[in-house]
Every structure is written in structure tokens, then in C-alpha cells.
Structure 1
Amino acid sequence: MSFTKTLRGLTTVSFWAADLEAAKKWYAELLGITPYFERPGYAEFRIGDYQHELGLIDSRYAPGGMTGPASGAVVYWHVDDVTATFEKLLSMGAKEYEPPTERGEGFITASVVDPFGNILGIMYNQHYLEVLDSTRKD
């Protein structure tokens, strides 16, 4: 029996866009950075405390069945202020998917559908902050 962890951590979240150039511009404005890696049909941002990857992929390369209305898993990114981030996303043309909702002490979620049809989840997560704090060296 192996003791290898099956899911070791988030590496890349991929979002699809029919207009990749517009998606790159939209996410660059949201994140305040430009993609660190690009090739035809693909752009990648490194974001957050752990430098996770957010990949934007031309929807021509999407696996079958991935086009159409927003659906599937929701990946939540930690933010310090859910309401302010939610309002910023709406002001940038995203559509409400789920309004800010308290899920228990220290946990608030919300999600939007970006202008390209992807669900973008945001969350204030106390556990995330505790883990981050435990990894910092004094």
C-alpha cells in the first residue's frame, strides 16, 4: 500500500474563451498583471500567495461537451473582501452566479460568470489564512 497523497495541491485552473485576446485583457485588468507565459491559443497567469496558475485557453481546444452555458465545478479563490471583489467583477461585466453568502464563521463565498462563460468563485476562507500563516517563516 502506498502512502502517496492522491491530490497534492492545485496546479492549474483552465478557463476557456472564444475570444482569447479579450479574455487576456479582462483577466490582466482584474489581476493587475499580464500573463507570464503565452503560446498560440493559450495564456497563463501565476497568481496568489502560492503562485497557482490560471490558464486561459482558446475554446477551439476545449474537450467535447465543454461549450455552452456555465456549468461544472466552481473553484474558489481566496480574497480578503468578498463583497468588494464581487462588486468589482460585476462592474467589469461579469454576471452574478451566486451572491455573497455566509457559510459559517470565517467563510463567505460568491461566484460570477465571466464574460467568456466561465464560473469564477471567490471566497473569504479563514482556514486558508491559517495555513498561509503557518507556512511563513519568522
Structure 2
Amino acid sequence: MLRGLAHVRYQAADLAAARRWYTELLGIEPYFERPGYVEFRVGDFRQELGLVDAAYVSELGAHGTAEAGGAVVSWHVGDLPAVLDRLLAMGAKEHEPARDFGEGFAGASVIDPFGNVLGIMHNPNYLDVLAETGKG
């Protein structure tokens, strides 16, 4: 069901400063940017590291506050609606509703019965890496 880590998202009250800091740390520029969001591809398997403007988090429909820190770690899934339905049926609570990000990317997050945020997403980049490594 959870095929592999696909994406990690941090939030920042000052997105421009966070972009500069992570650009310096990683030694690369973001590969994707839109207002309120930047994304890097890092590591041997080019996992995604996204930075979102904290003010935008409430617009995603997240239950909680924009002041909360931490990360949303998303696992690649083949069938986002089916996995989300299963998680909710098992007692998880919606954190961020399912959302289509365009170009084949879609995601959602839940709060598991133990208070942890669990992200799920359909991620074409994850599938591309699998295909390149012969595991897809």
C-alpha cells in the first residue's frame, strides 16, 4: 500500500529565507517553483523536498494552525482515493483533503489514531525513478 517515500514538505513563515537557506544547504536551486511553494529533488533517488509558505497551509484545508512546525512526509500510493478511504475506515482523521496538484500529482494527509500526520500521494516522479532503476 505505501510503496516508498516520495515527498517531504516543511513549512516556513518566511519562504524566501527558507528557499535561500535550503539552496545553500543543498547546493542546488529548486527544480519547481510557484507562488507560496518551492521544491527541490535531492538524494540518490531524487526524493522531493518541498517548502510551503506557512500562511498557505490553512488554504490547503489542513486542520491545525499555520504556526505548527514539523513536516508532512508523503508515501507514494497507486490509488490515492482507495488508500485514503482505507485510512479513514481504520480510524484516521482527515488532515488535508485529497487534492489534485496537476500533471498527475495528487495528495492528501490524515492524522493517524496516535496523533501522527501521514501523507499519501500519487507521484509521477517516484514512478520515473522506479522505472530508471528497473524496479518499476
Report which of the two has the higher share of strand.
Answer: 2
Give the structure with higher Rg (CA): 1
Structure with larger RCO (C-alpha < 8 A, sep 6+): 2
TM-score (norm 1): 0.49
